[in-house]
Amino acid sequence: MRHLRSLTRTLHKQRIEGVTFHFDPHHQHELSTAVRHFFTTPEQHTPLDTPEATRGVFLLEGERKWVLKHNRLIHWKKQLQNYLGLKKAFGLHDLTNEFINLSAVSAKSACAPSVAAFGYKGRFPFLKEEYLLVGFLDDHCSVDDRLIAHPEQASTLLPQVFDLFARMLDEGFVHMDPHPKNILIAPDGQLRLIDFECCAHSVIDHDFSLGFLMGYFFHYWIKRFIAMDDYRTCCENYLKVEQPTLDRSIFMPVFERFLTGKVSRTTRYAILTSPKAQAAFKAQ
């Protein structure tokens, strides 16, 4: 796990039940106590997502509340890649990668949760299990839950979501899976992002990235709550007021591609992290 040393050197290392954890030193005692309690009585902890055979997300409660994510890596190639850091790809869907992403993003953005701890279990050169703890955003609800309860709020929420996208780009990163379940609404109305397994740490082209974000957001999720023509109108109204200097020759082709069609995860990762791949996508 040498490729993570620059990220873990300031954290407190501790082994619990055969798992090597790196805790935020400011909350080390509280976190280690909560983790021990989880290992002792996992059935007493509330699942925050439907548990699967190889992964789970649970709520840990102590003086504060924390989210514990757990992955079990099955395939030997994935175990090898994650232990040795053979693929330094920000688009891999795993907790080692989310730890890397959040360590980079939370240092420059208040709309991302901070890392409380990272843990792993394995023996050189294979990583068997991954653990990630982040702060729990209490009293937040997802945009998805809000719209299921109040679908009439879609046109009101959209400009706020677009503002979040613009702020994200200004802060120098691109969340590659920005759907309504990954965007939370705070009690004061502020929006925040979760689930950073897939993220670009820099922005190659602002207008290209905004086209991806606004197009993807409709095609993959929000179309359940708003018709395409109404969505286009909301987008246009937002762009006229908030993005007057936008280069539409760059924005529109990307926006339309993601708005109306499916683009693979591999392609999304490539075009948002590689200038060469992005240029090729523009030329299509």
pLDDT at 281 over 70: yes
183 three-state secondary structure: strand
Q: Domain range spanning residue 37?
A: 2-135
Total number of domains constituting the chain: 2
Positive or negative: CA dihedral 217, 250, 191, 63: positive
Query: For 75, which DSSP code?
Result: S
The conformation of residue 250, written as its DSSP 8-state character, comes to H
Would you say 78 and 94 are in contact if contact means Cβ atoms under 8 Å apart?
yes
- The answer to whether residue 93 scores a pLDDT higher than 70 is no
What's the half-sphere exposure (Cβ side, CA atoms, 13 Å) at 72? 7
The residue out of 111, 135, 159 marking a domain boundary is: 135
Task: Give the CATH number, domain containing residue 256.
Answer: 1.10.510.10
pLDDT of 86: 78
- On whether both 152 and 262 belong to a single domain, the answer is yes
End of a domain among 113, 135, 157?
A: 135
Mean pLDDT of 246-259: 96
* 11 shares a domain with 120: yes
- Select from 117, 135, 153 the last residue of a domain: 135
Domain check: are 223 and 128 in the same one? no
Domain identity same for 33 and 109: yes
Nearest CA to 196 among 255, 119, 273, 111? 111
Residues 26 and 126 in one domain: yes
Residue 92: pLDDT band by 50, 70, 90 thresholds? low
**What is the helix (H) or strand (E) element at residue 157, kind and residue range?**
helix 154-170
Q: Name the residue with higher pLDDT: 83 or 185.
A: 185
pLDDT recorded at residue 90: 46
18-32: pLDDT as tens digits: 999 999 999 999 999
**Residue 126, domain CATH:** 3.30.200
Domain co-membership, 96 together with 227: no
Whether residues 13 and 128 fall in one domain: yes
pLDDT at 11: 96
